[in-house]
Amino acid sequence: MLNTEIQGLMWVLVLAIAIFSFDKNTYKSLYKTSARQTGVLACALVFALLWRIKAGILTGLDLHILGITAATLILGWRLAILSSLLASALLFSFGQVSFNLLPVQILIGAFIPILLSYLSFVVCYHYLPKHFFVYIFVCAFITAGFIACIKISLGALFYFSLGQYNWQELADNYVYLSAIIWFPEAMLNGMAITILITYRPHWVKTFYDKDYLDS
C-alpha cells in the first residue's frame, strides 16, 4: 500500500502530465471528427481488456500486455493519454484497480510508456530512413518490446525504493519475467500496426504516406 505522501505525489504527476497533454486544436479536431472519437474509445476499450487480463505474484506488480506503443502511433501521444485515462477509469469503476494503486497504474503503466513510445517514434522519424519496414519493425515491434521491459523495470524500482520488496523478491518474481513478455508485446503491437497501415493507413496518425511509401 502507498502512504498518503507518495500517493499524493503520484496524483500530482498524473495531473501535470494530463494537463500538459491538453491541446486545444487536438481536442477541437477530436470533437469534430467522429472517426477519431471512435479511435480513442476503441483504444480505451482495448487497453481495458488487455490490462484486465493479467498475472502476478506481488501486489501492485502485475504482468500484462500493454498495447501502448501501437495506440500511441495510431492516436498520437496526446490522445493516447486520453485513452489510457478512460481505460483506467473504466477498470477502477469495475473494481479491477484499487484507488490506492490507481496513480501508479496510470503513471508507470500508461503515461511513461506512452511518452517513451512517442519519443522513440520521433527519434526514428528524424534519424532513421523513412521506410515502411523501419516504421513497422523499429517504431512498433522493437519499441513495444523495449517499452514492456522498461515498464517492468520502473515498477520494480518504484516498489524497491519504497522498501516494500527486496530486490531478490522483485528479480525472482517480476523483473525476470520481462524476458517472457517482451516478445508477445512486440508481436501484438507490430501486427496491429502492420494491418492498419496496410489496409487503413489514414487511421494511423503518425504514418505519413509521402514519407514512408514514396521513399
Burial class (CB in 10 A: 0-12, 13-18, 19+), 11: middle
Percentage of the chain lying above the pLDDT 70 cut: 97
CB 130 within 8 A of CB 168: no
Please report the pLDDT score of residue 54 as a whole number.
81
For the segment 9-28, the average pLDDT, to the nearest whole number, is 94
CB 53 within 8 A of CB 66: no
Q: Rounded to an integer, what distance in angstroms lies between the CA atom of residue 152 and that of residue 63? A: 8
What is the per-residue pLDDT across 22-61, written as a single tens digit (0 to 9) for each?
A: 999 999 999 999 989 999 999 999 999 999 988 767 777 8
Please report the pLDDT score of residue 215 as a whole number.
54
Greater pLDDT, 150 or 56 = 150
Q: Phi/psi at 182 (nearest 5 deg)?
A: -65, -40
User: Please, how many CA atoms are within 13 Å of residue 6, restricted to the half-sphere of its CB?
Assistant: 14
Q: Rounded to an integer, what distance in angstroms lies between the CA atom of residue 92 and that of residue 52? A: 11
Q: Rounded to an integer, what distance in angstroms lies between the CA atom of residue 128 and that of residue 131? A: 8
Please report the pLDDT score of residue 6 as a whole number.
85
For the segment 54-74, the average pLDDT, to the nearest whole number, is 86
CB 80 within 8 A of CB 44: no
Helices of type H across the chain: 4-21, 24-32, 34-52, 68-75, 77-93, 102-106, 112-127, 132-134, 143-162, 167-173, 178-199, 209-212
State how far the alpha carbon of 155 is from the alpha carbons of 75, 104, 139, in Å. 25, 8, 23
Please report the pLDDT score of residue 174 as a whole number.
86
Q: Which of 77, 180, 84 is nearest to 119 (CA)?
A: 77
Q: Rounded to an integer, what distance in angstroms lies between the CA atom of residue 92 and that of residue 69? A: 22
Please report the pLDDT score of residue 147 as a whole number.
96
CB 170 within 8 A of CB 125: no
Q: Rounded to an integer, what distance in angstroms lies between the CA atom of residue 56 and that of residue 69? A: 22
Q: Which of 92, 22, 60, 50 is nearest to 185 (CA)?
A: 50
What is the per-residue pLDDT across 86-138, written as a single tens digit (0 to 9) for each?
A: 999 999 999 888 898 899 999 999 999 999 999 999 999 999 998 888 999 99
CB 107 within 8 A of CB 47: no
Please report the pLDDT score of residue 140 as a whole number.
96
| CATH architecture observed for domain 34-212 | Orthogonal Bundle (1.10)
Count of CB atoms situated within 10 Å of the CB of 66: 24
